[in-house]
A and B are shown apart, each in its own frame.
Chain A
Amino acid sequence: SLLSCYSLLIWCHVSIITLYSLTFLHHIRDIKDPEHPYSLEDLNVVNEDSVEINDELSHVRVTFTPTVEHCSMATIIGLCLRVKLMRSLPPRYKVDIRLTPGSHATEAAVNKQLSDKERVAAALENSNLLDIVEECLSPTLG
């Protein structure tokens, strides 16, 4: 019975984590793709499994899959995700955004670019880029 108790505990924990990740997914699912009028969830760029959370360490990792291997918008999508999470989460969270392994031609380069604080900040200084990001984040009517 101890074992069952323990497994119940684990199950509870897992379900809580699932709940959390669903909440997080709620924040990012409606972001629009820069090239299409569809949301990231519609295009299956992010889904339920793409969000990993460790609440105690305040750490979030989002893994996303670009639609094609040579998608030139991968960095923009990553940037949108980062900005949206930055705006939606309490400041204590560290946000980590990555490509799904093997999903992109220049995976390492994009990952590096997305986790580089200075480059993200610099990108947000660029008004053209910022406009694109805002466009993607703007709430949809549906």
Chain B
Amino acid sequence: MCFEIFSWILDHYPEAVKTMDDELLYWICQSIDEEKDPECLKLSFHVVEVVMKLFPDPSGFADQFASDLFEILSKYFPVYFTHGAGDNLGVTRDELSRALMHAFCASPYFEPFAIPLLLDKLSSSLPLAKLDSLKYLDNCIHCYGADRMVTHASAIWFKLKEVLFSLSSDQLLSSGSPKDAENNKNQIKSEAEHCLKTAVTYIHSPDRDIFINLILLDEDIVNNIHSVTTEEKSIDSSLQALGSVVSILAGSSTYLCTRVFQAHFKRLVDILGNSAGFDSQHLSIANGSSPAAINYGALYLSVQMLSSCREVAVASREGVPAEESWWLILEEKLDQIIHLFGKLLTIDCQPTQSAVRKECVSCAVKGLLILATIPEQCSLLLENAYEDILQMLTLVITSKYENAHFWRLSLKTLTSIGSSAVELHASKREMVYNRIVVDKIICLAESCDASMPLNLRLEACFEVGTASVNYMLRVARSLEETVIRNISQVNGSIECADYVACLIDCYSSRLLPWFFTSGGLNELALSFALRLWDEIGDLVTLDRIISEGLLESLMMGMKLLVGVCTEEQQSLIVQKACGIVSSMLSLPVKALTHHLLSVDELVPAHSVQDTALVCMLSSVIVGLWPQTPVPEMMMMINLFSVFLLNGHIPAAHALASIFNKYLQNSEFSHEIKLDKILDVILGGCFSIVLPSSNLKMSRSSAATSDNADFSDSLPGSIGSKIDILCGLAWIGKGLLMRGDEKVKEISMFLLKCLSSEASLASAAADAFHVMMGDSEVCLNKKFHARIKFLYKQRFFSILMPIFLSKIKETSELTTKLVIYRAFGHIISNAPVSAVITEAHQILLVMVDILAKLSVDNQDKDLVYSLLLVLSGMLMDEKGKECIVENIRIIISVLAQLVSYPHMMVVRETALQCFVAMSSFPHSKVYRMRPQVLQAAIKALDDKKRAVRQEAVRCRQTWQSSFA
């Protein structure tokens, strides 16, 4: 409390305090001495800090009292804090330590006392003490100022050297696991490096060579460099330490960099050159069988030096001082070193490599990266050197793909070189990069038959493109070009078709998303789509597309292309597509424009080309924005409905998208009543699928009058009926997602189908899955569908009572099974929380569904998703209550599922449900125990390990909770 008041006074009335004399300081000393409470300590440290800052005058009391005060303070260093985390003291060790640190740094008068203490503590064996003293030292160097620190420079260097190099042969006492020790070591290392850096940068003296002389002339370092370069070594920590010292030293300023380079760089490169020269001879004789001796130490050190000189270059933007600098030395050796790195790359490509050689190669690649990313304006890096580097790496990409690790490394390096050129606005380099790298890489993708695997080629293209938007644009154009060319080429082999499919896939799944996130996608998608349509417009090409099975991937690509376009671009594409389709279609398209659907136009047999055209048109429609104006809507709707009635699913996708996006759109509603048309289409579908159905469903008069004819003239195969049902489901999904009332009609019709003949009924059951499930093909966010909030939940609660009553009515087994399946789809796709609120009503039905469906192999996915719903209920309080009420039947069904033969996860989940149930009230479940245990025992002998383990857990919990 006293301290609190005191520190407040000091903070707020410094002037008043200043007038007081040594009495004050004396009292402070007295009061702090022997203080133990952490909170008080923290305050007292603060007091000392403030007081020392208040008396800066050299002749004042501070000078006299400094030693006394510091004696008191030094007792607390390093801060030992024995309280555990549980003690609620409000002060942590970190805070305390920081307060002490500020106190240490408060006045330069502490300097003669503090530095020796800290240096002494540096050689402590406790990692914590080491860490703290490094931190303090770092701060002290900042605060005390260069003049005072110069005297300590050599001492500091020796101690730091000791720390850095002793870490390799560590004798640190550490109580924790090896992981902790490793962690400590890393922390100490980074702290020490940091400290060295501040020391080097802050301690200026009139003779600025002081540190550099210390370090460079240090015998240990010189010896170390010698030993490293003479014997072959793998990477170890002493080398790492050496490297970091050198790079810190060189990276601090231009002058230091020059000194370091003068001292060592030349020699290192020469050594490297010797070893590598020996290397190549050796290789030519022994044919690469023996691992050549590459001087890894020298390599590592020179790469470290290079990286620090890049740092210097980036820091000093304005350009190099021309004469007498590191740059001249580097320039002298540049060709040699690039040549060396390049040699390393070309030699070391055998897939079987030792770890050392791998390190070597990655080091060399890193060196190249560094060389190539030195900023253009301040380095005189000759243009041809840059070109050489790029060419080397590109060569690796194009020819050395057997070694995947190495290949990826080079690719990444190339990409980062490219992006750095863009970031630094080095236009000349960008041009060079464009010419050398991008051109080559693009060539890779353009040829159909190369020895290199296609996926690697595409990966290379994409990665290089990510460096900048411009490169990516070029990649995209070349891909586009290749696709178009290959489509229009006459020689169509299957390989070629696969190749084109891969290209389109790469384009739409990699490039388009990238453009979408990073911008720059202007006319690209538009032009590609238009050109694709141009190609489709050619009959011969169209035939080939169909015969080669390219249609699927083209459709998907077209959807995505249209999906990323803006509205105006989309409308252009639609117009073009419409024009081509209407000119090429063998149907009387003009007639479709104004009439509503009628029987005569239902030409049963369509040519293959027509189908393909409609497919492509539908994929355009699917990707449209709701706002995009569509010409000749009437014609298209009619066209699609004709195809739908022939069981054509893509047409259904298009219709579903139209109804999802445009229904009740003010533009259309007054001239062509879309909902009327919808009625007609639905009516047509209904009557084809179920000819016998009396026409309650289809209210539209047009359909009613035509209906009799349909049933006579078009009996329709079962296959096409099933397809139509599926199409209906898609339309239903479109309506459902926008929350339209008409969906009721469709669902009622589907319900009716459920009780009809077997195959039709099961198709109807699957239709519910289509309506409730999420889809990649159409009607999702990517294709701008209108999605109403909570539409699944709404649909579920509408249909649930209907299904429940229907289940009650039906007695026949097969029909019931179908209804169960349909209801199962609805339950499993509805949100779990919605299902839980209705748990009391549907739980029994659900369990019954599980029991009935578990007989058949076909329904395994459905069984699994239902089981997941059940386990979701088990996690919920309300669901639990319901389950407890019906525990007997649920457990018997689950026991049945424990031996479900078709799917492993079902068995596992069932057992997990049991485990969850063991936490139910004892009185409710104890009678079930024998049954559960029996099921678990059976599962102990299961074929799958995961099930057996789950069974053991289940048995353990049930056995022990009732013992």
Partner-B contacts on A (CB < 8 A): 23, 27, 87-92, 130, 134, 137-139
Residues of A within 8 A of B937 (CB): 90-91
Binds A, one of B53-61, B732-740, B789-797, B951-959: B951-959
Compute how far the CA of A90 lies from the CA of B945 in the bound complex, rounded to whole angstroms. 13
Residues of A within 8 A of B963 (CB): 130, 134
Q: Are B941 and A90 in contact, with the CB atoms below 8 A? A: yes
A33 to chain B minimum Cβ distance, whole angstroms, is 18
Q: Are A87 and B955 in contact, with the CB atoms below 8 A? A: yes
Task: Out of A23, A89, A92, A137, name the residue touching B960 (CB < 8 Å).
Answer: A137
Q: Are A27 and B941 in contact, with the CB atoms below 8 A? A: no
Q: Are A134 and B952 in contact, with the CB atoms below 8 A? A: no
Q: Is B677 an interface residue (CB 8 A)?
A: no
Compute how far the CA of A88 lies from the CA of B952 in the bound complex, rounded to whole angstroms. 5
Q: Are A87 and B941 in contact, with the CB atoms below 8 A? A: no
Residues of A within 8 A of B955 (CB): 87-88
Interface residues of B in 932-955 (CB under 8 A from A): 937, 940-941, 945, 952, 955
Residues of B within 8 A of A91 (CB): 937, 940
A71 to chain B minimum Cβ distance, whole angstroms, is 25
Q: Are B952 and A137 in contact, with the CB atoms below 8 A? A: no
Q: Are B945 and A89 in contact, with the CB atoms below 8 A? A: no
A135 to chain B minimum Cβ distance, whole angstroms, is 10
Q: Are B940 and A90 in contact, with the CB atoms below 8 A? A: yes
Of all A-B residue pairs in the complex, the 3 with the closest CB atoms, nearest first, are: A90-B941, A90-B940, A88-B952
B961 (CB) vs chain A CBs: closest residue = A134
Compute how far the CA of A137 lies from the CA of B959 in the bound complex, rounded to whole angstroms. 11
Which interface residue of A27, A87, A91, A130 has the most chain B CB atoms within 10 A?
A87
B936 (CB) vs chain A CBs: closest residue = A87
How large, as a class, is the contact surface on chain B? 10 to 19
Compute how far the CA of A138 lies from the CA of B952 in the bound complex, rounded to whole angstroms. 13
Compute how far the CA of A88 lies from the CA of B963 in the bound complex, rounded to whole angstroms. 16
Q: Are A23 and B945 in contact, with the CB atoms below 8 A? A: yes
Task: List, sorted by A's number, 8 A–B pairs whose CB atoms are closer than 8 Å.
Answer: A87-B952, A87-B955, A88-B955, A90-B940, A91-B940, A92-B941, A134-B960, A139-B956
Compute how far the CA of A9 lies from the CA of B963 in the bound complex, rounded to whole angstroms. 46
A128 to chain B minimum Cβ distance, whole angstroms, is 12
Compute how far the CA of A11 lies from the CA of B945 in the bound complex, rounded to whole angstroms. 22
Given contacts A23-B945, A91-B937, A130-B963, 9 further A-B contacts (CB under 8 A): A87-B952, A87-B955, A87-B959, A88-B940, A88-B955, A89-B940, A90-B937, A91-B940, A134-B960
Compute how far the CA of A88 lies from the CA of B939 in the bound complex, rounded to whole angstroms. 10
B956 to chain A minimum Cβ distance, whole angstroms, is 6
Partner-A contacts on B (CB < 8 A): 937, 940-941, 945, 952, 955-956, 959-960, 963
Q: Are B941 and A138 in contact, with the CB atoms below 8 A? A: no
Number of A-B pairs, beta carbon distance below 8 Å: 24
Q: Are B956 and A87 in contact, with the CB atoms below 8 A? A: yes
Compute how far the CA of A91 lies from the CA of B960 in the bound complex, rounded to whole angstroms. 18
Compute how far the CA of A90 lies from the CA of B940 in the bound complex, rounded to whole angstroms. 5
A27 (CB) vs chain B CBs: closest residue = B952
B110 to chain A minimum Cβ distance, whole angstroms, is 48
Residues of A within 8 A of B960 (CB): 134, 137-138
B937 (CB) vs chain A CBs: closest residue = A91
Residues of B within 8 A of A138 (CB): 960
B957 (CB) vs chain A CBs: closest residue = A139
Compute how far the CA of A26 lies from the CA of B373 in the bound complex, rounded to whole angstroms. 54
Compute how far the CA of A134 lies from the CA of B960 in the bound complex, rounded to whole angstroms. 7
Compute how far the CA of A90 lies from the CA of B959 in the bound complex, rounded to whole angstroms. 15
Residues of B within 8 A of A23 (CB): 945
B945 (CB) vs chain A CBs: closest residue = A23
Residues of A within 8 A of B941 (CB): 90, 92
Which interface residue of B945, B952, B955 has the most chain A CB atoms within 10 A?
B952
B901 to chain A minimum Cβ distance, whole angstroms, is 17
B960 (CB) vs chain A CBs: closest residue = A134
Compute how far the CA of A91 lies from the CA of B941 in the bound complex, rounded to whole angstroms. 9
B951 (CB) vs chain A CBs: closest residue = A88
A81 to chain B minimum Cβ distance, whole angstroms, is 14
Residues of A within 8 A of B959 (CB): 87
Compute how far the CA of A77 lies from the CA of B40 in the bound complex, rounded to whole angstroms. 53
A91 (CB) vs chain B CBs: closest residue = B937
B933 (CB) vs chain A CBs: closest residue = A87
Residues of A within 8 A of B945 (CB): 23
Residues of A within 8 A of B940 (CB): 88-91
Compute how far the CA of A27 lies from the CA of B941 in the bound complex, rounded to whole angstroms. 14
Compute how far the CA of A132 lies from the CA of B937 in the bound complex, rounded to whole angstroms. 24
Compute how far the CA of A89 lies from the CA of B936 in the bound complex, rounded to whole angstroms. 10
B349 to chain A minimum Cβ distance, whole angstroms, is 35
Compute how far the CA of A87 lies from the CA of B300 in the bound complex, rounded to whole angstroms. 59
Residues of B within 8 A of A27 (CB): 952
Residues of A within 8 A of B952 (CB): 27, 87-88
Residues of B within 8 A of A139 (CB): 956
B958 (CB) vs chain A CBs: closest residue = A87
Compute how far the CA of A92 lies from the CA of B941 in the bound complex, rounded to whole angstroms. 9
B944 to chain A minimum Cβ distance, whole angstroms, is 12
Compute how far the CA of A87 lies from the CA of B940 in the bound complex, rounded to whole angstroms. 9
A89 (CB) vs chain B CBs: closest residue = B940
Residues of B within 8 A of A130 (CB): 963
A2 to chain B minimum Cβ distance, whole angstroms, is 32
B38 to chain A minimum Cβ distance, whole angstroms, is 32
B959 (CB) vs chain A CBs: closest residue = A87
A134 (CB) vs chain B CBs: closest residue = B960
B952 (CB) vs chain A CBs: closest residue = A88
Residues of B within 8 A of A90 (CB): 937, 940-941
B134 to chain A minimum Cβ distance, whole angstroms, is 35
A64 to chain B minimum Cβ distance, whole angstroms, is 20
Compute how far the CA of A124 lies from the CA of B194 in the bound complex, rounded to whole angstroms. 65
Which interface residue of A92, A130, A134 has the most chain B CB atoms within 10 A?
A134
Compute how far the CA of A128 lies from the CA of B963 in the bound complex, rounded to whole angstroms. 12
Residues of B within 8 A of A134 (CB): 960, 963
B225 to chain A minimum Cβ distance, whole angstroms, is 48
Compute how far the CA of A92 lies from the CA of B952 in the bound complex, rounded to whole angstroms. 15
A104 to chain B minimum Cβ distance, whole angstroms, is 28
Compute how far the CA of A104 lies from the CA of B249 in the bound complex, rounded to whole angstroms. 66
Compute how far the CA of A134 lies from the CA of B962 in the bound complex, rounded to whole angstroms. 11
A25 to chain B minimum Cβ distance, whole angstroms, is 13
A142 to chain B minimum Cβ distance, whole angstroms, is 14
Compute how far the CA of A134 lies from the CA of B955 in the bound complex, rounded to whole angstroms. 13
Residues of B within 8 A of A89 (CB): 940
Compute how far the CA of A92 lies from the CA of B940 in the bound complex, rounded to whole angstroms. 10
Compute how far the CA of A138 lies from the CA of B937 in the bound complex, rounded to whole angstroms. 19
Compute how far the CA of A92 lies from the CA of B937 in the bound complex, rounded to whole angstroms. 10
Compute how far the CA of A134 lies from the CA of B941 in the bound complex, rounded to whole angstroms. 24
Compute how far the CA of A138 lies from the CA of B959 in the bound complex, rounded to whole angstroms. 11
Compute how far the CA of A87 lies from the CA of B963 in the bound complex, rounded to whole angstroms. 13
Compute how far the CA of A116 lies from the CA of B952 in the bound complex, rounded to whole angstroms. 24
Compute how far the CA of A27 lies from the CA of B945 in the bound complex, rounded to whole angstroms. 12
Compute how far the CA of A138 lies from the CA of B953 in the bound complex, rounded to whole angstroms. 11
Residues of B within 8 A of A88 (CB): 940, 952, 955-956
Compute how far the CA of A67 lies from the CA of B952 in the bound complex, rounded to whole angstroms. 28
B451 to chain A minimum Cβ distance, whole angstroms, is 36
Compute how far the CA of A138 lies from the CA of B960 in the bound complex, rounded to whole angstroms. 8
B934 to chain A minimum Cβ distance, whole angstroms, is 10
B939 (CB) vs chain A CBs: closest residue = A90
A26 (CB) vs chain B CBs: closest residue = B949
A55 to chain B minimum Cβ distance, whole angstroms, is 11
A20 to chain B minimum Cβ distance, whole angstroms, is 11
Compute how far the CA of A19 lies from the CA of B959 in the bound complex, rounded to whole angstroms. 27
Compute how far the CA of A138 lies from the CA of B956 in the bound complex, rounded to whole angstroms. 9
A73 to chain B minimum Cβ distance, whole angstroms, is 20
A60 to chain B minimum Cβ distance, whole angstroms, is 13
Residues of A within 8 A of B956 (CB): 87-88, 137, 139
A135 (CB) vs chain B CBs: closest residue = B960
A118 to chain B minimum Cβ distance, whole angstroms, is 20
B625 to chain A minimum Cβ distance, whole angstroms, is 55
Compute how far the CA of A88 lies from the CA of B941 in the bound complex, rounded to whole angstroms. 10
Compute how far the CA of A134 lies from the CA of B963 in the bound complex, rounded to whole angstroms. 9
A125 to chain B minimum Cβ distance, whole angstroms, is 11
Compute how far the CA of A61 lies from the CA of B379 in the bound complex, rounded to whole angstroms. 75
